[in-house]
Homo-oligomer: A and B are copies of this chain.
């Protein structure tokens, strides 16, 4: 199935974008504008972020247009002039986009995306651009922390039900897969993005049967190839013994049970107990899968030497519970050839078109970044490159597997001080002399 999502339409924007454009048009302010999307400050509980969401942004920019019905509705509100509605009726995004590749590690004040377009165009896209980049970057960052906490373990996104709406559930699956999750429970993500889907049974399945072991045997017979059985509806250790015995019995019929899932109580303690009774009853080959209120803190702390083989990570991942938003912004950096700067208290921005240069040690480990004006000749790897021109992608987007591999390489290069969930190390992000000089020049010009 196609990768595109049901588009929410061009009206998914803020009222003020249209009033501003209306006023820009009144003065024919259509010169070239440069906006950049960046995170002002990382949340206190994050030592790195992972860029994600560019693919959906480019989809949005390529498809963005107003239907006749939408134009009619806008006109009917009485808020906007016919000058505006005429402009929007023909609107297509024709700008240029430079961006960090998805899966790239990113830090404060570093532009992830730079948009160059006529002022009204660049303005119109602000709200949805932030909406797309904030969410997936936040989720990929959160998911990467679980990957670092349990390297090599099977991690599955279980969070759609408590994600904030349909799109959040869908895109959380994508972002966590990029970060290194093995898959998701969300079938729509499997069909749209080709992400492996996982899932077996809920407590209701067991409850709907009169006897627990009857429910489990019935399910194993329906799915004879290594299914995972939920054992904590009533008494998990007792059910584990029954499943171990069932596995031995069904093996003779060619039916293989894959393992057991526990979803409530003190999961780490229960897992140890379940491992013991499985092993003592012929269930050595059965894996243990744990789910229920898990996140990277639990994975790193409660399950450090746990016999658990795989984890379902749900709600706290899909809502990024400890940091449910990023302090991110999309700001005007240049208009009509002149660098611009906002100086509001606590929200000052660095002006102008920028590039991020990354330095690594000889082993490839990240050493520090420099944020500079775009044509600065800093050493290091430049992280932003052109991905869209004249409103069209410059290349076919990379498959999700490629992005996922890039993300894994990026995580490998993360300094040790930033890898633990409670790490408070700060990655060095230097503002280049070239950028400081530009900021000073802008300030002088404004005074």
Binding site for B on A (CB under 8 A): 1, 5-9, 11-20, 22-24, 26-27, 29, 33, 35, 69-70, 73-74, 77, 79, 81, 119, 123, 126-128, 130-132, 134-135, 158, 160-171, 185-188, 190-191, 197-205, 207-208, 218-219, 222-223, 227, 232-234, 263-266, 315-316, 319-321, 324-326, 328, 331-332, 335, 340-347, 446
Contact = CB atoms under 8 A, between A and B. Distances in A.
B164 A165 contact: yes
A23 B164 contact: no
A325 B315 contact: yes
B8 A187 contact: no
A295 B200 CA distance: 40
B166 A8 contact: yes
Contacts of A160: 12, 14, 127, 131
Given A131-B160, A204-B332, A190 B22 contact: no
B161 A14 contact: yes
A280 B113 CA distance: 44
A120 to B, nearest CB: 10
A343 B234 contact: yes
A119 B215 CA distance: 14
Nearest to A192: B11
A197 B167 contact: no
Q: How many copies does the complex hold?
A: 2
Contacts of A74: 187
A127 B170 CA distance: 12
A328 B160 CA distance: 13
A437 to B, nearest CB: 19
Given A204-B123, A208-B29, A346-B264, A168 B167 contact: yes
Contacts of A12: 160, 166, 169-170, 186-188
Contact of A171 (B131, B165, B207, B340): B165
B331 A204 contact: yes
Contact of A8 (B188, B343, B446): B188
Please name the 9 residue pairs, one residue from A and one from B, whose CB atoms are nearest each other, closest first: A15-B199, A165-B167, A16-B199, A265-B345, A6-B6, A164-B164, A164-B168, A264-B344, A8-B166
A253 B200 CA distance: 71
Given A319-B324, A331-B203, A344-B233, A8 B9 contact: no
A331 B171 CA distance: 26
A408 to B, nearest CB: 24
Contacts of A266: 345
B205 A161 contact: no
A162 B130 contact: yes
B14 A187 contact: yes
Given A165-B165, A315-B325, A319-B324, A344 B11 contact: no
A20 B209 CA distance: 12
A23 B198 contact: no
B126 A161 contact: yes
Contacts of A11: 187-188, 190-191
A332 B233 CA distance: 12
B166 A201 contact: no
B23 A219 contact: yes
